[in-house]
Amino acid sequence: MEFSATQIAQMIGGTLEGPGEISVGAFGKIEEARSGQLAFLANPKYEEYLYQTQASIVIINNNLQLKEPIAATIIRVTDPYSSFALLLDKYQQIQKQQLSGVEDPVFIHPTAKLGEHIYLGAFVYLGENVIVADNVKIFPNSYIGKNVTIGENTIIHAGVKIYHGTIIGENVSIHAGTVIGSDGFGYAPQTDGSLKKVPQIGNVLIEDGVEIGANTTIDRATIGSTIIRTGAKLDNLIQIAHNVEIGANSVIAAQTGISGSTKIGKNVMIGGQVGIVGHIQIADGSKINAQSGVSKSIKEPNSAVTGSPAYDYTSALRSQAVSRNLPEIEKRLKELEVFIKNLTTQNKL
């Protein structure tokens, strides 16, 4: 599968410099690319490789002034990184569209409803009343429980387990090993000291355009729904507890844990290894630094917090600066104490 420079320029709205008929069939990093590959330059630190690269086509910024002649065909765009990402996405979509049909063996319940142009890998299980829309791809060893709905163009990678009642929108991507809809962690203490399990009878709702990384777990709601809103992006190894709501276009990095019934606003950015307690709210546009522990609601939109317990990011940096100077401050304080003591002694005389 190859594309000419002219075709690529049309796809990304770029300006062509050099032969338009030259074709590429693969991608490469600018410092490693070979003939027949496409590369891009977005970071000025890598500009030296532009004049050495063996890539056949290179995407660069409109404003970049070339210091030396280069052998590759150039495509100029406003944002090379975004344009390259767009091409990767198109390339990936074409590859996935080539997957179709049902491998053997699979189990499909007689009541399941299947759309057109779907792909079911070997050992896929589709339970009672499952609905699989058009162009869905479900890779091998995935389990889809009863009454699950999967929207168009969604991709379920290998080994994903989706419990009963889960609703998944369109253009969703769920990576290998993820578990969606397992029981929330709810237990009622008894008078004898034992713990009685609280039945989890809700479900999980995942809206359109969501991406969920590998080995992430999203618990079903006790009552109602655990909700992942449109366009949210979850990294690998994340724990989302029962009745949590993740707002639209929010981004959460790996090893984050969000406790039950917490509501995350839209366009929130959460770094890796963040812990968030239950029953709080995180305002729209909040930024939570890696390894922070959030123990109370963030009410002010577009706030930035860090630390454990997490507090205002700017104040935290000032506190860190003061902490680094504590030995010097202690030394000066002792000198001041000696000075005052000597001054007091002189006054008494």
Q: Please give the backbone phi and psi of residue 251, each rounded to the nearest 5 degrees, phi first.
A: -125, 130
Pairing verdict, β 161-162 and 179-182: parallel
Which residue in 101, 104, 18 sits closest to 57, CA to CA? 18
**Token couple for 54:** 């063996």
Omega into 309 within 30° of 0, i.e. cis? yes
Q: Please give the backbone phi and psi of residue 294, each rounded to the nearest 5 degrees, phi first.
A: -100, 115
Q: Which listed residue (164, 175, 242, 279) is catalytic? A: 242
| Cα gap 224→349, rounded to integer Å | 81
109 is an active site residue: no
Please identify every residue annotated as catalytic.
Answer: 242
